[in-house]
Structure formats: structure tokens, C-alpha cells
Amino acid sequence: MSVQKAINWRKTVKKYDENKKISHNDLNLIIEAGRLAPSSMGLEVAKLIVIRNKTTKAQIADQVMQGNIAKVKEADTLVFLVGVNPDYLLTEDFLSARLSRVEGISAEKLQEYIERYRSYFEKSAVDLKSYVAQQIHITASFMALQAADLKIGSTIMGGFNAPESDKILAELGYLDVTKYHSILTMAFGYYDEKTEGTTLPRLRISTDDFVNIIE
């Protein structure tokens, strides 16, 4: 499927077919799309917690908006997109892990890069929590588009109880809240084609309202 066709195909799913499963290969393609998504300054502040276990999904379903609870339970896969905590982002531990990947970098040059990045974030007007959230949304977009290419539906959910979700994920051993916090959840699965209203027509403002092109 072309990118344009995938974009036109995708609509948020209102009801999933809980009997249809995503193959491991297709799920890996969706995960890989998120991993390879653009990342500001190459810092890759996003991580994924992928939940396929029905019991675990049921434990956390009540943390999303009322209208999405059934989707979380019925969808084959639930993904939490978590981002780096601002305090952890500025640590030598995190910055070193990201910046040391440059081939042939010396210890001295690495330390110089760490200080440069840290200084930029500390002195600029960048709100680190917003900065991280913006990166997470880019990751989600790539994952949704890859899913659409495979004709797998998705629901992107920003309305959920993040603190309580983080608490549950931490208690289950899936999240280190000293380093990461949840920002978005995504459900993935196949449309329930037998039920009317599974998807709704996509309404968008006109192109003229959307864009102002300055030649």
C-alpha cells in the first residue's frame, strides 16, 4: 500500500474484532516503525510497553476514558508510549547512553557533547516535559501509519489516568517511574466488520482552511 493510500485508509476504530489476532511479524513491523521514527537531536526519548495479555489489559482498562474501555479489552494489543522524565533526561546516565553511540567518539568528546546538550536544555526556554511528549506523538503517528499499511486498525488515546496507569505498570514490574512516565496509549487490532459503526466517516476541515502557502 502507498503512503497516501494508508493515510486515506486509516480511521480510528470504535470496535475491534477480539477474535482476530495480529501476527508477530506484523506487530514487529509496527514496533519497528515507532523505533525508527524521527527523533529530535537523536535522543530517542520514547519507549514502548506492549501488552497482549488479556488479564493485564483488563487490570489497566479502567484507567482510560469510559468510551475506550471496551476497545482496550477487545483490541489484540495495547501499547503504552512512555517518555523519559525531564530530570532523568539531563543525567549523565541517559545522555551518555545516547551520545556514546557515535562511532569512534573519545571519552573527552563524549563529555563535551553531554555538557553541550545539558547546557542547551538548562538555558533554553524548552519545556522538557512538552518536548518529550512531542516526540512521543511523532512515534505514535509512525506506528499508526505502519499499522494502516498492514490494514490493522488503531486507536490513539491521550485521555487516560496516566499517574494511576504508571502506578499499575510499576507494580507489575513493567515501568521504572524514576526514569519514565506514560504519555499516550494505543490500541491495535482488526476492525469488527460485522458491527455497524465500527468506524465513523473521517471529517476534516477543507485544504484551504488547513493551509496557507506562501510562494
What would be the CATH architecture of the domain defined by 3-86+130-198?
3-Layer(aba) Sandwich (3.40)
Which residue has 527523533 as its cell numbers?
Answer: 39
Maximal CA-CA distance, the chain: 62
Tens digit of pLDDT per residue, the chain (215 long)?
788 888 888 888 888 998 999 999 999 999 999 999 999 989 999 999 999 999 999 999 999 988 889 888 999 999 999 999 999 999 999 999 999 988 788 989 999 999 999 999 988 888 999 999 999 999 999 999 999 999 999 999 999 999 999 999 999 999 999 999 999 999 999 987 677 766 777 888 999 999 999 99
- What region does 154 belong to: left with phi over 0, alpha with psi -120 to 50, or beta? beta
Q: For the chain, which residues make up each domain, given as ranges?
A: 3-86+130-198
Q: How far apart are CA 162 and CA 190, in angstroms?
A: 26
